[in-house]
Amino acid sequence: MDLKTSNTEGDMSYASLEEDGCPLFFNKDAESGYFSGISNVSLKEESLSLSKQRLLEPPTESRKTPESPGISHPLKQLNISSSSFSPAIQNEEFSKMVCRDKDGDTQLHTSIWQKKIQTVFYIIECIVSVDRGWLDFPNLKLQTPLHAATLQRMVEIVALLIEERADVRLCDDQGDTLLHIASREGYDDIVRTVLDTGDRQQVLSCIETLNYYGQTCLHIAANGLHHSVLKLLVSSGASVNIKDGMYNYTILHCVVQKHNSELLDYVLGLESIALDATSYAGETALQLAERLGFCDTAKVLRHHINDINSK
């Protein structure tokens, strides 16, 4: 390889890579980068008698990085994402939006925590126009903007994020999806929004996901005695006999343990509810009620079992 450099008035240097058959011009004042300053001029088009003054002249046209440069080091080895070269990514305003604070929150997270609705709409619009992947970016607690909007009960923001294809299946550091959070808090409006706007397969996967405490959304709603939420989840097609990961309880076990007659009547009215499902301790819902001393609940269960057996 023949390498020549010059440090005169133009403060330019150039290198000729004969093995690749193309000249490379490097401008110290140009934007840094592996391919910055690549010349469109080839050795075949230049005369060997090209004057030194002409070499020192700065290029008159902006040059783009070639997609397949004739060099021996592939771009992927530089560990630079394709978005690194996007002018929009380098935009100062967008850079501030995705800059994280000490809690790992972006400006989208922060605006949601502060319930600045118009600002949230603006930031979402900017993110979608540049890189919608930032809609799913988590903070240090692995909370995405969807988690934050759910915790703040911002229904219209949840709807917008889902419409812009934010992932409803993502879990925070407790293993909770946004539906787990909404089920625990009793936010039936959030649950309804997710069911109406989300992809059906993703939503069902979300409903039946076990968090790090071994609970599905159904178990959380039943334990929280959130009747409206439980009805919404069941009506969406969720399995009513799914078991948790801690006690192997169905929602019938949960309702019995909570000793709530209203919710018990609803669960027993579900056509496919399994009365003989057992926990890890080998207990059915009836045996659990008897062990806990809930005589009224045990009586209702026996009556229901007898009615089914008599049919």
In percent, how much of the chain has pLDDT > 70? 70
Structural domain of residue 291, as residue ranges? 243-311
- Angle, CA 66 vertex, CA 64 and CA 68 arms, to 5°: 170
The C-alpha atoms of residue 162 and residue 270 are separated, in whole angstroms, by 30
Q: Is residue 286 in some structural domain?
A: yes
Q: What tens digit of pLDDT does each residue of 85-116 get?
A: 344 444 777 777 778 889 999 999 999 999 99
Rounded Cα distance between 241 and 277, Å, is 8
Domain presence at residue 146: no
Whether the CB-CB separation of 179 and 145 falls below 8 Å is answered with no
* Mean pLDDT, residues 46-55: 42
Please identify, among 45, 64, 83, the residue that sits at the C-terminal boundary of a domain.
Answer: 64
**Number of compact structural domains in the chain:** 2
pTM: 0.69
- Residue 292 in any domain: the answer is yes
Which residue has 């600002």 as its token pair?
Answer: 119
Q: Quick check: is 40 in a domain?
A: yes
Residue 165 lies in a domain: no
**Strands, DSSP E only, in the chain?**
12-17, 22-27
- Tens of pLDDT, residue by residue over 170-216, are 999 999 999 999 999 999 999 999 999 999 999 999 999 999 999 99
Domain boundary (64, 93, 111) is at 64
CATH of the domain at 308: 1.25.40.20
- Tell me if 250 is assigned to some domain: yes
Structure tokens at 257: 């343990």
Position 187 scores a pLDDT of 98
Q: Are 286 and 250 in contact (CB under 8 A)?
A: no
Within-domain flag for 53: yes
Between 277 and 9, residue with greater pLDDT = 277
Residue 187 resides in a domain:
no
